Copies of this chain bind each other. A is one copy, B any other.
Amino acid sequence: MSPDSLNQQLDFILELDKLKAIQRKARIKCDDNRYENSAEHSWHIALTAQLLADYAEEPIDIQRVTTMLLIHDVVEIDAGDTFAFDNEGLAEQEEKEQIAADRLFGLLPAEQAKEYRTLWQEFEDAETTDGRFAKAIDRILPLLQNMRNNGGSWAEHTVSRAQVINRNQYLEGLAPKLWEFAVEQIDLATANGWLKG
């Protein structure tokens, strides 16, 4: 590592601060019901992945999964957050995120930039086992949070049972016990009127 590398890494590390200003649609009940930001969300799911790693029934590399989850939202620094169920917004968002990934990971020294950019893309594609597990964890945590908050962002934005089932499908096969749990919760949310049937 050259002295220049260190400066590039520190620039990236300081740039990361901006993710703390990106608001999601979920609310933090225990903190005046304010909106959650993408930095604290990233912490929460990275730790959740570690705690639930043993439920994966295919071999996963939890170190790679953790790094994916730590960086998965970094692109929102430039591209902002789009609500998970806003299908129209999501297509445009994807393009913005690719440009953001080029700029942000490009702040790092070349080799590290490539490594992190590739890992971020693996999360986005969710085709490898590690990528699918990371994506599944990113999606099960909002489910837990909404269940605790009387439907939370589902109820606020009139989301349907089918949409949530579809979002959590990564668990099926890969982590059957978590999938079974998710379906039970989704059914309960539907019965409670928090999700459209």
Contact = CB atoms under 8 A, between A and B. Distances in A.
Name the residue among A63, A145, A177 with the largest chain B CB count within 10 angstroms.
A63
Q: What size tier do the contact residues of chain A reach? A: 35 or more
A9 interface: yes
Interface of A: 1, 6, 9-10, 12-14, 16-21, 28-31, 36-37, 39-40, 42-44, 46-48, 50-52, 54-55, 62-63, 66-67, 70-71, 108, 112, 141, 144-145, 148, 177-178, 181
Contacts of A40: 19-20, 37, 39-40, 43
A21 B19 CA distance: 17
Contacts of A12: 51
A13 to B, nearest CB: 5
